[in-house]
Amino acid sequence: LPEQEAFNIEYWLLEEAKLSRMPKPKSLAGRVAFITGGAGGIGSAIASKLLSEGACVVLADIDQVSLNEVTAGFAKTYGRDNVRGVKMDVTSEEAVVQAMNETALAFGGVDIVVNNAGITIAAPVEDTTLDLWNKNQAVMGTGYFLVGREGYRLLKRQNLGGSMVFICSKNAVAASPGASAYCAVKAGELHLARCMALEGAPHGIRVNVVNPDAVLRGSKIWQGPWREQRAASLRISQDELEEHYRKRSLLQRSVYPEDIAEGVYFFASDLSNKSTGNFLNVDAGNAASFTR
Ligand code: NAD
């Protein structure tokens, strides 16, 4: 640089302005994320966030219709090469192994695994049939185990570290009335994540948990019998539910799928490279107080 230019403040200000106009490198560029329940409310918000940060995303879901719709939407925005939908039942060992292997082949590996697919059927313990108990355990107990194990095996084989994020629930750490089977399986998911964090640490594999409070908007769970059952157990109408959850939180704010996605992004990215075996409640402060 000519000497007078090096000391010219205007020159440096101009350079800085030029830099600020240049596109910032995306923090997840070159990474591949595998998301179960990716066609659902929270799963598709997670996919959207990770795609916007530059990751390639595989959405694995049992619901072919929603899967086609969500995948096509993302393909339009982010390009066909960056997103893929896979019909998969998390309770099937064969299907999970196949989907994970196909993802690795198609994208050259996997860096981020999000365990999210879930159902919500619940009842007070005295009315919980064995069938209801088994359904919860199959999707969210066995399902989280199978996806967790296969994701872990793949990350370990690649020997490049990686991040696994489990979407559990505030019910992983606190009970809700009339939801014993759901609460029990969510607590199990959280503890599985901690055990895997322990085993994964020497290999650079981090495993963390995001615990959402009630997320009514966008969630298919809240369109089914769960909505009616929650309203009945709280003795309020279904229309009052969202307001009920908002009001009992410290921040007096509703929690949306996009809020959960921000938490997942934190754990999936290098922002959290010193965190493993942790959980983050995304609950507008609900868990902080016994009085609400
Ligand atoms: P959602 O119903 O909108 O999405 C769940 C997705 O999982 C659906 O697309 C569904 O097809 C898929 N799925 C169900 N069974 C499957 C199976 N056997 N194999 C593959 N996919 C399957 O629900 P959501 O609200 O987005 O919930 C996502 C996760 O968040 C769940 O684990 C849920 O327990 C958890 N969670 C939700 C809330 C909430 O209030 N919405 C609160 C706490 C935790």
Give the percent of the chain with pLDDT over 90: 82
Ligand 1 pocket test, candidate residues 211, 221, 248, most atoms within 8 A of CB: 221
pLDDT digits (tens, 9 = 90+) for 140-151: 999 999 999 999
- Tell me if residue 41 falls in helix, strand or coil: helix
Give the range among 111-115, 151-155, 207-211, 218-222 with minimum mean pLDDT: 218-222
Distance from Cα 214 to the centre of ligand 1, integer Å: 12
pLDDT digits (tens, 9 = 90+) for 22-54: 777 789 999 999 999 999 999 999 999 999 999
Burial of 143 (0-12, 13-18, 19+ CB in 10 A): buried
In this model, does residue 250 exceed pLDDT 70?
yes
Instruction: List C-alpha distances in Å: 152 to 100, 149, 203, 206.
Output: 11, 5, 10, 10
CA distance 84 to 105: 13
Q: Which residues line ligand 1 (CB under 6 A)?
A: 36-37, 39-43, 61-63, 66, 88-91, 116-120, 139, 143, 167, 169, 212, 214-215, 219-222
Of ligand 1's atoms, which has the minimum distance to the CA of residue 120? 34
Of 98, 75, 97, the residue nearest 85 (C-alpha) = 75
pLDDT digits (tens, 9 = 90+) for 194-208: 999 999 999 999 999
Contact 150, 97 (CB under 8 A): yes
Distance from Cα 117 to the centre of ligand 1, integer Å: 5
Residue whose CA is at the smallest distance from ligand 1 atom 8: 40
CA 136 to chain centre: 18
DSSP structure class, residue 209:
E
Q: Which are the contacts of 10, defined by CB distance < 8 A and separation ≥ 6?
A: none
- Residue given tokens 């309020």 in the structure block: 236
Of ligand 1's atoms, which has the minimum distance to the CA of residue 138? 18
Burial of 135 (0-12, 13-18, 19+ CB in 10 A): middle
In this model, does residue 81 exceed pLDDT 80?
yes
pLDDT band at 17 (very low <50, low <70, confident <90, very high): confident
CA distance 283 to 103: 32
In this model, does residue 2 exceed pLDDT 80?
no
Instruction: List C-alpha distances in Å: 125 to 128, 182, 187.
Output: 5, 10, 16
The residues that are catalytic are 182
Distance from Cα 269 to the centre of ligand 1, integer Å: 22
Please tell me whether the overall predicted TM-score, pTM, comes out greater than 0.90 for this model: yes
* Number of other residues whose CB lies within 10 A of the CB of residue 280: 19
